[in-house]
Copies of this chain bind each other. A is one copy, B any other.
Amino acid sequence: MSKKFKIVTIGGGSSYTPELVEGIIKRYDKIPVTELWLVDVEAGREKLETVGALAKRMVKKAGVPIEIHLSYDRREALKDADFVTIQLRVGQLAARALDERIPLKHGVIGQETNGAGGLFKALRTIPVILDICKEVEELCPDAWIINFTNPAGMVTEAALRYSNIKRFIGLCNIPIGMEMGIAKLLNVDYSRVRIDFAGLNHMVFGLEVYLDGVSVKEKVLEMIMDPANASFVKNIDAEEWAPEFLKGINVIPCSYHHYYYKTSEMLERALKDFESNETRAEVVQKIEESLFEKYRDETLDIKPPELEKRGGAYYSDAACRLISSIYNDTRDIQPLNTVNKGAISGLPYDGAVEVSCVITKDGPVPLTIGELPVPVRGLIQTIKSFEQTAIEAAVEGSREKAILALTINPLVANDKLAVAIVDEMLEAHKEYLPRFFN
């Protein structure tokens, strides 16, 4: 086991890192990591030190020979990496709060992936990701990049289209959460449930659900019609679905579909949070503070269970599972964001999709999905149009394209409102948008 196996985590000071460390430790027999590099920006020094110290205690307690390195020099860290995970947040939670609050001021949902918030997160994040891709190309060209920075779909597509990196995978915990949630509804072990996923990030549908390989979709749809089961995935407090709608659409929606098929109710909730200063960013801010409080406890040498309540739970564990599958060529099936190549008919061949894939040492290979069901084609294509326009805006620093992206987004759908929101948000995030202000 003396062969080098180096993982680099960009945004290593994240509160999620202990889950990642735990994920690596518990799979040590399958992924014999020799070095874990946690990298962050100077501004995050305190957090990185805290998380790094906890990581060292965890490794020590587990008795595995993994070196933990902390670094503020991305290039130094990337050198000869085997896997690079990315979980950064340009502008920290303060920027997310603006992403959520400014749109709400204008009466529309912010949302950090497919709404106005997601647009601006993309504008801030994509240039940084493209920089990382260039560095990876130079310093560790054979490494796999596993990104769970949101908006994960757009970030993946931007990397595929605007960098020379092909080994780039976007990872989201929503589809994994759906499998877990449905397993719980069915009262069976998670490993027995398999869903055929197809769509885009935060815009994914379960086209089929299998228990031990046999379709249970009808049964699951029935269960989800029960208001008590509406939020079978934890991360969004969902409204119940109209049973007629579920019967008609005949696929499993993801939690984010509440934004599109129940916009008014979701907006009402968000406005309530807005007024009580309890938007997601603000809630997360508090959770983070309490987590770091715990992390600083020098007697803590395991991942604290509270972390599982954080919305992004299972992300880091999913990343470890993915690393193990690639490293070991396991050929198991996982839902990922990768290049379409015709897996989903009607979506761009070269663009990113979220889809069930077989994981090989050579990367994910999408299962053939074929045509999407008629009723879901439009919304998925709309979000893909939004994504592509937003990515172009990010790469070109184009205000007009940002406005266009927001106008065609179903959560805004108004040209003048788009102008107002974009202009206010460009100003608010000026510091992190150099391509727009040169």
Contacts and interface: CB of A to CB of B under 8 A. Distances in A.
A341 B370 contact: yes
Contact of A413 (B261, B367, B368, B403): B261
A405 B332 CA distance: 37
A269 interface: no
Given A362-B210, A414-B263, A385 B389 contact: no
Interface residues of A, number: 73
Contact of A384 (B331, B378, B386, B415): B378
Given A345-B349, A365-B368, A418 B384 contact: no
Contact of A400 (B241, B248, B343, B388): B248
Nearest to A338: B368
Contact of A358 (B215, B367, B383): B367
Interface string A1-16: 0000000000000000
A53 interface: no
A388 B371 CA distance: 14
Closest 10 CB pairs between A and B? A213-B361, A378-B382, A248-B404, A213-B329, A378-B385, A341-B370, A245-B415, A381-B381, A242-B415, A343-B368
Nearest to A386: B378
Interface of A: 194, 208, 210, 212-215, 241-242, 244-245, 247-249, 260-265, 329, 331-333, 340-343, 345-346, 349, 358, 360-362, 365-371, 374-379, 381-386, 388-389, 398-401, 403-405, 407-408, 410, 413-419
